[in-house]
């Protein structure tokens, strides 16, 4: 009684508790809807937040899938969420019902970086006219600058040469490969977006990569989920800058690069890159309030393409080299195929891929086994949909669990092992599976998939053409278990030796 300052505050306290419980019950109403997916009983206010391991969500979802089935529900505080597992259910959500599930939920922490009603980027933008306009622009512009054409292949091939030189500089001594791979992949994206390639030792380039790494590090774990669930906390003055300094620095870096680009842009000359092309569209749309081509959206589209186009590919290549030192028999077989088809003199080309089924199978199996984006980006239902017989109401967040597809025991012979034969038939011909969807599927599938596939094949074959990769003498055998706290999922830190062949 005294703690509440007498009886006067009791009515207020009781009213507050009742109000919170009523709001909580209101947000749980979907669980009472006929046909809503089953799931663990949520706690008041917090929902299922404390019943899942946000530091290892893939494992939490795996346990819940075993208990509740392929389609189950969670309540993350006020936000209803449905997790979809297995090939049939995920394909139904992303493809069959794709028009009604391609929306994105609002993520308040992104709004702190400038995302809003008039600027939504391309990756996390809501499904609508602005997203279609920006995705169409991004795809067509990347294609114009080489995506799927010989010119971009030449850029990647040239960068592969620089990457091999960087490995050679270590003269076979132990090295952690991720930073070298990250520099190579970043230069490809930088060439497309800024028409510029950085020297690997450039201090600004090293600083830029560190900023991007810090920004990605901040996006994992419990805190971002809590802030997205309780966005009122973001109103605390200075909290975002203190918790996410890397993201703020990353956006400042993007702003600086755009400012420099504007200074040197000549509208009377052919576009040098995607940024020039966007500036040209802004000039065309001048005075049109309905256009999504504006200064704020430019920085977000550039940030999206930088973030999505660099880390995922470099992490996949880091997995590829790890798996080669852990499976030297696979490495030798890839090198044998490289020697037969390409030889030791000329550079690998994309045209070689069709004649190299085993190498192609290895690259695909690396992506399947590494499973670097196990949960995909969240989707949102724009209307009521039915998935595998369950009714999912409009406004429900959807998590397509890609890990459950890439590791589906009903599809893959050895789902938890690295086994390139998953992609080979009895005659040794390459076979692509329907369940292979590391780039997601449907309307929100990764727009940079063709570029990523080109980089993976050309970088991987060029490296194995020139080097044999080994576990450093005296060091323990690295683990092939991923760091589930990272996003994307990275290998545990390791070193290797690149021995010139």
How much is the average pLDDT of 463-480? 96
DSSP state of 234: G
Question: Per-residue pLDDT tens for 257-270?
Answer: 899 989 999 999 88
Question: Per-residue pLDDT tens for 387-410?
Answer: 999 999 999 999 999 999 999 999
Q: Are strands 79-84 and 379-380 parallel, antiparallel or unpaired?
A: unpaired
pTM over 0.85? The answer is yes
Query: Is pLDDT of 338 > 60?
Result: yes
Q: Which residue has the higher pLDDT, 245 or 314?
A: 314
Instruction: Look at residue 1 in the predicted model and tell me its pLDDT.
Output: 43
Given the structure tokens 């990275």, which residue do they identify? 490
Query: Which pLDDT band, with edges at 50, 70 and 90, does 471 fall under?
Result: very high
Query: Is pLDDT of 15 > 80?
Result: no
What mean pLDDT, rounded, does the chain reach?
Answer: 87
How much is the average pLDDT of 166-181? 95
Q: Which residue has the higher pLDDT, 468 or 111?
A: 468
Query: Is pLDDT of 498 > 50?
Result: yes
Query: Is pLDDT of 300 > 80?
Result: yes
Tokens of 348: 């690998």
Query: Is pLDDT of 6 > 70?
Result: no
Dist. CA 375–CA 400, nearest whole Å: 6
Query: Is pLDDT of 64 > 50?
Result: yes
Dist. CA 19–CA 102, nearest whole Å: 34
Contacts of 146 (CB under 8 A, 6+ apart): 152, 153, 155, 192
Tokens of 444: 């929100």
Dist. CA 47–CA 57, nearest whole Å: 16
Contacts of 380 (CB under 8 A, 6+ apart): 101, 103, 104, 105, 126, 395, 396, 397, 398
Instruction: Look at residue 32 in the predicted model and tell me its pLDDT.
Output: 55
Query: Which pLDDT band, with edges at 50, 70 and 90, does 10 fall under?
Result: low
Please list the residues that pair with 470 across neighbouring strands: 497
Least confident of 1-15, 295-309, 330-344, 430-444: 1-15
Question: Per-residue pLDDT tens for 444-458?
Answer: 998 889 899 999 999
Question: Count of alpha carbons within 13 Å of 497, Cβ hemisphere only?
Answer: 14
User: Can you say whether residue 165 is alpha, beta or left, with left for phi > 0 and alpha for psi between -120 and 50 degrees?
Assistant: alpha
Query: Is pLDDT of 20 > 70?
Result: no
Instruction: Look at residue 183 in the predicted model and tell me its pLDDT.
Output: 96
Tokens of 113: 């970086």
Chain centre distance of CA 200: 24
Instruction: Look at residue 129 in the predicted model and tell me its pLDDT.
Output: 86
Query: Is pLDDT of 148 > 70?
Result: no
Query: Is pLDDT of 350 > 60?
Result: yes
Please list the residues that pair with 496 across neighbouring strands: 175
Dist. CA 118–CA 116, nearest whole Å: 6
Query: Is pLDDT of 118 > 70?
Result: no
Dist. CA 303–CA 390, nearest whole Å: 37
Dist. CA 226–CA 55, nearest whole Å: 13
Least confident of 175-179, 262-266, 301-305, 432-436: 301-305
Nearest-10 crossing angle of helices 150-168, 449-466: 40
Highest averaged pLDDT of the listed ranges 136-145, 276-285, 324-333, 431-440? 324-333
Q: Which residue has the higher pLDDT, 57 or 68?
A: 68
Query: Which pLDDT band, with edges at 50, 70 and 90, does 2 fall under?
Result: very low
Tell me which long-range contacts 135-140 makes (C-beta under 8 A, separation of at least 24).
135/447, 137/277, 137/278, 137/281, 137/293, 138/274, 138/301, 138/305, 138/447, 139/447
Instruction: Look at residue 146 in the predicted model and tell me its pLDDT.
Output: 65
* DSSP string of 297-320, one letter each residue: HHHHHHHHHHHHHHHHHHHHHHHH
Taking residue 66's Cβ as centre, other Cβ atoms within 10 Å add up to 9
266 φ, ψ (degrees, to nearest 5):
-120, 105
CB 481 within 8 Å of CB 213: no
Dist. CA 42–CA 260, nearest whole Å: 51
Triad 334, 336, 340: Cα angle to 5°: 115
List alpha helices for 219-294, DSSP H: 222-229, 239-243, 245-264, 274-284
Question: Count of alpha carbons within 13 Å of 176, Cβ hemisphere only?
Answer: 9
Query: Is pLDDT of 474 > 90?
Result: yes
Tokens of 24: 């909580």
């Amino acid at each position: 009684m005294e703690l509440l300052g007498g009886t006067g505050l009791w009515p207020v306290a009781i009213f507050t508790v009742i109000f919170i419980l009523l709001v909580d019950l209101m947000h749980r109403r979907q669980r009472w809807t006929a046909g809503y997916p089953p799931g663990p009983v949520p706690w008041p206010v917090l929902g299922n937040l404390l019943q899942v391991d946000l530091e290892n969500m893939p494992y939490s979802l795996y346990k819940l899938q075993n208990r509740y089935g392929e389609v189950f529900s969670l309540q993350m505080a006020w936000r209803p969420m449905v997790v979809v597992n297995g090939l049939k259910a995920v394909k139904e959500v992303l493809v069959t019902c794709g028009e009604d599930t391609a929306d994105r939920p609002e993520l308040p922490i992104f709004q702190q970086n400038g995302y809003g009603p008039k600027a939504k980027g391309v990756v996390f933008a809501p499904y609508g006219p602005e997203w279609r306009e920006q995705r169409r622009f991004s795809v067509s512009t990347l294609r114009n600058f080489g995506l799927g054409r010989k010119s971009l292949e030449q850029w990647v091939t040239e960068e592969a040469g620089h990457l091999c030189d960087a490995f050679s500089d270590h003269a076979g001594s132990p090295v952690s490969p991720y930073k070298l791979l990250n520099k190579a992949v970043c230069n490809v994206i930088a060439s497309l977006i800024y028409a510029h390639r950085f020297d690997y030792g450039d201090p600004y380039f090293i600083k830029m990569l560190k900023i991007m790494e810090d920004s990605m590090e901040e996006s994992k774990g419990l805190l971002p989920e809590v802030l997205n669930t309780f966005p009122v906390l973001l109103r605390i003055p200075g909290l975002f800058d203190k918790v996410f300094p890397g993201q703020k620095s990353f956006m400042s870096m993007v702003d600086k690069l755009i400012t420099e680009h504007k200074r040197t842009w000549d509208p009377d000359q052919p576009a040098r890159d995607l940024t020039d092309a966007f500036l040209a569209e802004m000039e065309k749309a001048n005075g049109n309030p309905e256009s999504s081509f504006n200064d704020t959206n430019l920085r977000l589209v550039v940030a999206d393409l930088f973030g999505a186009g660099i880390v995922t590919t470099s992490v996949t290549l880091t997995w590829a080299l790890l798996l080669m030192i852990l499976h030297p028999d696979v490495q030798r077989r890839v090198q044998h195929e490289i020697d037969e088809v390409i030889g030791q003199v000329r550079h690998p080309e994309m045209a070689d891929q069709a004649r190299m089924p085993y190498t192609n199978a290895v690259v695909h199996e690396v992506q399947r086994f590494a499973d670097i984006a196990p949960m995909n980006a969240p989707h949102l239902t724009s209307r009521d949909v039915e998935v595998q017989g369950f009714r999912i109401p409009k406004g429900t967040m959807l998590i397509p669990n890609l890990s459950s597809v890439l590791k589906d025991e009903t599809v893959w012979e050895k789902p938890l092992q690295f086994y390139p034969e998953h992609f080979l038939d009895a005659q040794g011909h390459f076979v692509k599976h329907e369940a292979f969807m590391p780039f997601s599927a449907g309307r929100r599938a990764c727009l940079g998939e063709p570029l990523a596939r080109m980089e993976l094949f050309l970088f991987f074959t060029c490296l194995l053409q020139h080097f044999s990769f080994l576990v450093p003498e005296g060091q323990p055998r690295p683990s092939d278990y991923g760091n589930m706290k990272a996003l994307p999922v990275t290998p545990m830190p390791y070193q290797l030796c690149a021995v010139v062949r």
